């Protein structure tokens, strides 16, 4: 047991966050975080909750009534999306081409699902034709995939797979932690039944909260479960009663100030315009890629399925990737990401998410890399 | 789908939070919330994490290595404390005298535990002699209870029950969401194996994070589980590797700014001195109670087991409790709590937690109640 009392906050430096998230936070969102805390049943806070739901509907492009932020990080969104809909033995298909697809599998298996997978080489996308064949031959309660695979920088064909899932009875479950706010996400149009995201990527709100949206059809299935949801904290059947209706029923104390911050960051995204935000991500991504290629660096993912907000760059032969990242952090106050899991040592991950995604930041990382390499 | 874009944050009024939490937040903690976000693997952020662990050890009075904040609210702390240690069929004893004991039962049952309970009239404490008898006749993997039952204002005999559990092989699991920082909590001395708390009560940090501490013996049991923890998000066997050791392994993106706020609020508590904070809670509680009794109001709980930070007051005959609360909020900008569950309509709950617990606030609520009643 220590008996000292240290306060480290005065010495936090501003770092340019160009990793896989968290991304840079706008001044207005920092300000929102420190607005006076209200009670979780306060009438004015309930107005804020209602507005956040409407904002999330806009950003998800969905009229789903159950569109709310969960009280945890993006991974809590993933847990929510599986634990509410899986009962032991349920057949689930997961399309995997990176760490986060693997994580979906792990989450679903722990909950007793009978998990079937289709696995694709990391750095390449899920193949629609193969999924079509698979869905013709099998019935699943849930078909799950990752939209923006943060571990590799690959964009998966969520719209196209959605067309296939629409022809089945399966629930379509999609992870948009990294994509939401930085590229098109169209829940209703794409036939997504269960979707989750995070805040610390293209929404540029600090981590700690997970937007989710659930179709009426999926809510119906949830309400007809045989057993209670085996996770009290994330049980949507109870949480609905706090977020909806005349009389709000206390479930757990909502993370008030984080919800303020989400409200502000959604305000900022909607104020810019979704299409404008997507275009900004694409434009700065192109400038980054062309700058990197001018330096002789190679992108890990083919142009056809590259994410704009997460750029995996092949570490050149003979370069110690850790030293480069460490020098970027120490000498240039820039964070970029290492490779995750099997990608460790092979790629850097340069994030262009939300507030980070500005031409001056692209310039800063390019010139820093030029000096170091 | 709405197409408007509203920002409600400019009109948030400062409300004096005298409910069952959240409590008032110190200016320094608001400031901490808006310190520049760092990456979750940033070397300086890891220093902050290490300091937060040491601060939590001090506040929990424990040398437990596994002493960390979980990425969710206090109820996520409860979920963590059960899901990591229960395997299907495990016998668990829960001592219940309010909503939060009932919640522990619900959480444990959903996880497949064989739950036995001892129930006590709400407003009265758990009886040590009866627990002694029960433990002599039965073997449990876990014995669980609530320290400060927020729904009734009762302090339960955690130290005394701890002496009994020490003589068994059971793990002792205690909820200190409302007590931590406002009255003595001595994890090691009391033989507690698994403890959780919240931040928005006597630590006066906004809600969203849950301190937990686990004894080495409980960690050993965790490591020898037969099946994986059926909750990926809260799996301590993986989360340990992010919070401990030379090389920190990414699990999920930590709620960076909430951890800043916790760091600051723990700094404030330690700076005041734990004993001083406890004494302040007791002193203001006594002033409040004597003021309420002078007005002819009655406390719901007997003096011998009253919590200092949560004061349940009997609603007088003929008074509409909802109108009183609503007038307090609208005319006086004061929030107090309603009764929870079966206590609804019967009591008000006046919180004196953390920063709320100041003589000027006691005066404010007493004079407002005098005017209204």
DSSP state of B250: P
Q: Answer yes or no: do B260 and B295 share one domain.
A: no
C-beta atoms of B255 and A83 within 8 A: no
Instruction: For chain A, give the mean pLDDT.
Output: 97
Look up residue B67 and give its DSSP letter: E
Q: Report CB contact under 8 Å: B2, A83.
A: no
**A263 band by pLDDT with thresholds 50, 70 and 90:** very high
The pairing of strands A91-96 and A114-119 is parallel
Q: Ramachandran region of residue A14, left (φ > 0), alpha (ψ -120 to 50) or beta?
A: beta
Residue that finishes a domain, picked among A270, A292, A322: A270
**Residues contacting B49, CB < 8 A, separation 6+:** B243, B254, B259
Residue A4 within a domain: no
3-state SS, chain A, equals CCCCCCCCHHHCCCCEEECCCCCCCCHHHHHHHCCCCCCCCCHHHHHHHHHHHHHHHHHHCCCCCEEEEECCCHHHHHHHHHHCCCCCCCEEEEEECCHHHHHHHHHHHHCCCEEEEEECCCCCCCCHHHHHHHHHHCCCCEEEEECEECCCCEECCHHHHHHHHHCCCCEEEEECCCCECCECCCCCCCCCCEEECCCCCCCCCCCCCEEEEECHHHHHHHHCCCCCCCCCCCCHHHHHHHHCCCCCCCCCCCCHHHHHHHHHHHHHHHHHCHHHHHHHHHHHHHHHHHHHHHCCCCECCCHHHECCCEEEEECCCCCCHHHHHHHHHHHHCEEEEECCHHHCCCEEEEECCHHHCCHHHHHHHHHHHHHHC
Task: Please say if the pLDDT value at position A1 is more than 60.
Answer: no
Residue B35: which H helix or E strand, with range?
A: none
- Which of A208, A228, A263 faces B255 most closely, judged by CB atoms? A208
Q: Looking at the predicted structure, is the pLDDT value of residue B3 above 70? A: no
| Least Cα separation, residue A29 to chain B (angstroms) | 8
Q: How many domains are there within chain A?
A: 2
Average pLDDT estimate for B182-199: 98
CB contact under 8 A, B111 and A37: no
Chain B residues with CB under 8 Å of A260 CB are: 9, 12
* Same domain (yes/no): A264, A329: no
First to last CA, chain B: 45
The total of other beta-carbon atoms located within 10 Å of residue A291's CB is 17
Q: Is A73 on the interface with B (CB under 8 A)?
A: yes
> Do A112 and A234 have their domain in common?
yes
Q: How far apart are CA B154 and CA B100, in angstroms?
A: 12
CB proximity A91 to B under 8 Å? no
Residues of B in contact with A42 (CB under 8 A): 15, 329, 335
d(CA A51, CA A250): 19
**HEC sequence for B313-328:** EECCCCCCHHHHHHHH
Residues A352 and A214 placed together within one structural domain of the fold: no
Omega before residue A22 within 30° of 0, cis: yes
Is B1 within the bounds of a domain? no
Tell me, yes or no, whether A1 lies in a domain: no
pLDDT at res. A4: 76
Query: Does the pLDDT at position B2 exceed 70?
Result: no
Say whether A9 and B264 touch across the interface (CB within 8 A): yes
Q: Are A123 and A342 in contact (CB under 8 A)?
A: no
| Residue B114 in domain | yes
pLDDT tops 80 at residue B231: yes
**Using a CB-CB distance cutoff of 8 angstroms, which residues of chain B are in contact with residue A253?**
21-22, 73-75, 198, 200, 207
**Helices then strands, each counted (H, E), chain B:** 12, 13
B252, B254, B277, B354: best mutation site toward chain A, by most A Cβ within 10 Å?
Answer: B252
Last residue of a domain, one of A220, A254, A270: A270
Strand partners, A335: A17
Determine whether the interchain pair B25/A37 forms a contact, defined as Cβ–Cβ distance below 8 Å: yes
CATH code of A282's domain: 3.90.1150.10
**Token couple for B104:** 């522990």
What is the residue-wise DSSP string for A314-338?
A: EPPTT--HHHHHHHHHHHH-EEEEE
Q: What is the pLDDT of residue B5?
A: 87
- CA atoms of A173 and A196, how far apart (whole Å): 8
Mutate to test the interface with B, among A16, A72, A187 (most CBs of B within 10 A): A72
Query: Is there a contact between B110 and A31 if contact means CB atoms under 8 Å apart?
Result: no
Supply the CATH number for residue A60's domain: 3.40.640.10
The residues facing A211 across adjacent strands are: A69
Residue B204 clears pLDDT 70, i.e. is over it: yes
- A46 belongs to a structural domain: yes
Q: Are B157 and B200 part of one and the same domain?
A: yes
Q: Residue A175 domain-assigned? A: yes
Minimal CA separation from A6 to chain B, in Å: 7
Which residues 147-166 of B are in CB contact (within 8 Å) with A?
A: none
Contact A372, A322 (CB under 8 A): no
Q: Identify whether A2 is part of a domain.
A: no
Instruction: Give the whole-number percent of chain B exceeding pLDDT 70.
Output: 99
As beta bridge partners, residue A337 has: A349
| Nearest beta carbon to residue A230 from set B24, B75, B110 | B110
Give the pLDDT score at A245: 85
Q: Do residue B299 and residue B248 come from a single domain?
A: no
Say if A3 falls within a structural domain: no
A334-338 β-sheet, strand order: A16-18, A334-338, A347-351, A310-314
**What value does the mean pLDDT take over residues A289-313?**
98
* Residues A360, A320 contacting (CB under 8 angstroms): no
Among the candidates A252, A270, A288, a domain finishes at A270
Verify whether the Cβ–Cβ distance A253 to B15 is below 8 Å. no
> Which of B134, B142, B130, B59 is closest to B104 using CA atoms?
B142
ipTM: 0.97
Q: Which two tokens stand for residue B266?
A: 């723990």
Q: Does B35 touch chain A (CB under 8 A)?
A: yes
pLDDT exceeds cutoff 70 at A332: yes
Strands of the sheet containing B310-314, edge to edge, are B16-18, B334-338, B347-351, B310-314
Is the Cβ of B58 closer than 8 Å to some Cβ of chain A?
A: yes
Cα–Cα nearest to A368, from A337, A338, A325: A325
Percent of chain A with pLDDT over 90: 98
Q: Closest to A257 (Cβ–Cβ): which among B36, B103, B206?
A: B206
Our CA angle for B353, B355, B359, nearest 5°, is 85
Q: Does A332 touch chain B (CB under 8 A)?
A: no
pLDDT at A190: 98
| Residue B258 pLDDT > 70 | yes
Q: Does B294 touch chain A (CB under 8 A)?
A: no
Q: Is the pLDDT of residue A180 over 90?
A: yes
Nearest to B288, CA basis, from B267, B269, B253, B313: B313
| Res A65 pLDDT > 70 | yes
Look-up: residue for tokens 């977020």? A243
Q: Does A65 touch chain B (CB under 8 A)?
A: no
Residue B94: per-residue pLDDT:
98
- Facing residue for A270 by CB, picked from B5, B12, B72: B5
Q: How many CA atoms lie within 13 A of B123 on its CB side?
A: 15
Does residue A200 sit at the B interface (CB-CB below 8 Å)?
A: yes
- Helix (H, G, I), strand (E, B), or coil: what is residue B157? coil
Inter-chain CB proximity B72 and A233 less than 8 Å: yes
Q: Is B204 exposed, middle or buried (0-12, 13-18, 19+ CB in 10 A)?
A: buried
Query: Same structural domain for residues A105 and A238?
Result: yes
Residue A246 has what pLDDT?
Answer: 85
Q: Angle between the A256-272 and A274-294 helix axes, to the nearest 10 degrees?
A: 80
Q: Which of A240-254, B55-69, B97-111, B228-242 has the lowest mean pLDDT?
A: A240-254
Q: Which residue of A has its CA nearest to B38?
A: A15
CB proximity B31 to A under 8 Å: yes
Instruction: Round the average pLDDT of chain B to a whole number and report it.
Output: 97
Worst-scoring range by mean pLDDT, A1-15, A228-242, B39-53? A1-15
- Give the residue-averaged pLDDT of A89-104: 98
Which positions ≥6 away from B333 have C-beta within 8 Å? B13, B14, B15, B16
For residue A268, count other CB atoms closer than 10 A to its CB. Answer: 22
**pLDDT-derived band at B42, boundaries 50, 70, 90:** very high
Query: Quick one: B116 and B219 in the same domain?
Result: yes
Say whether B21 and A253 touch across the interface (CB within 8 A).
yes
d(CA B53, CA B50): 5
- What separation in angstroms does the CA of B161 have from each of B94, B187, B189? 12, 13, 12
d(CA A67, CA A192): 13
Instruction: Evaluate if residue B4 carries a pLDDT over 80.
Output: no
What is the pLDDT at residue A3?
60
pLDDT over threshold 70, residue A157: yes
| Whether residue B353 sits in one domain with residue B255 | no
Q: What percent of chain B has pLDDT over 90?
A: 98
What's the distance, CA A172 to chain centroid?
A: 16
User: Beta-carbon neighbour count of residue A224 at 10 Å?
Assistant: 7
- Claim to verify: residue B240 and residue B326 sit in the same structural domain: no
Tell if the CB–CB gap between A232 and B340 is shorter than 8 Å.
no
Of A96, A60, A28, A32, the C-alpha closest to A256 is A32
B274 backbone dihedrals φ, ψ, rounded to 5°: -55, -50
Name the residue range of residue A302's domain.
9-22+273-372
Same domain, B111 and B123: yes
Residue carrying the six token digits 């929404």: A203
Write the burial class of residue B262 (CB in 10 Å: 0-12 exposed, 13-18 middle, 19+ buried).
Answer: buried
Rounded Cα distance, A89 and A175, in Å: 22
CA distance B108 to B284: 36
Please measure the distance between the N-terminal and C-terminal CA atoms of chain A and give it in whole angstroms: 45
Residues of A in contact with B6 (CB under 8 A): 51, 267
Q: Are A298 and A255 found together in one domain?
A: no
């Amino acid at each position: 047991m220590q008996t000292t009392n240290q306060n480290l906050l005065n010495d936090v430096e501003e770092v340019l966050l160009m990793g896989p998230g968290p991304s840079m936070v706008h001044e207005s969102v920092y300000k929102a975080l420190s607005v006076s805390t209200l009670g979780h049943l306060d009438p004015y806070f309930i107005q804020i909750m209602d507005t956040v739901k409407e904002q999330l509907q806009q950003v998800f492009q969905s009229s789903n009534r159950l569109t709310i932020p969960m009280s945890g990080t993006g991974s809590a969104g993933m847990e929510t999306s599986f634990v509410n809909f899986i009962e032991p033995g349920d057949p689930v298909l997961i399309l995997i081409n990176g760490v986060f697809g693997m994580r979906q599998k792990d989450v679903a298996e722990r909950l007793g699902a009978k998990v079937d997978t289709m696995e694709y080489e990391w750095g390449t996308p899920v193949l629609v034709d193969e999924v079509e064949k698979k869905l013709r031959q099998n019935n699943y309660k849930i078909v799950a995939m990752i939209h923006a695979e943060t571990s590799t920088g690959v964009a998966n064909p969520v719209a196209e797979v959605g067309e296939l899932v629409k022809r089945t009875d399966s629930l379509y479950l999609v992870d948009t932690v990294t994509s939401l706010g930085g590229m098109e996400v169209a829940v209703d149009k794409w036939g997504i039944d269960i979707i989750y995201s995070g805040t610390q990527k293209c929404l540029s709100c600090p981590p700690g909260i997970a937007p989710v949206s659930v179709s009426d059809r999926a809510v119906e299935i949830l309400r007809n479960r045989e057993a209670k949801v085996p996770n009290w904290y994330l049980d949507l059947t109870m949480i609905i009663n706090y977020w909806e209706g005349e009389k709000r029923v206390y479930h757990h104390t909502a993370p008030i100030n984080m919800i303020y911050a989400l409200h502000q960051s959604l305000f900022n995204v909607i104020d810019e315009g979704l299409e404008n935000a997507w275009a900004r991500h694409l434009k700065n991504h192109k400038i980054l890629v062309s700058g990197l290629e001018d330096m002789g660096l190679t992108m890990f993912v083919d142009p056809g399925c590259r994410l704009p907000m997460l750029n995996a760059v092949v570490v050149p032969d003979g370069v110690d990737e850790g030293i480069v990242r460490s020098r970027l952090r120490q000498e240039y106050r820039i964070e970029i990401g290492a490779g995750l899991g099997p990608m460790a040592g092979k790629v850097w991950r340069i994030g262009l998410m939300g507030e980070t995604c500005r031409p001056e930041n692209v310039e800063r990382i390019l010139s820093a890399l030029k000096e170091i390499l």
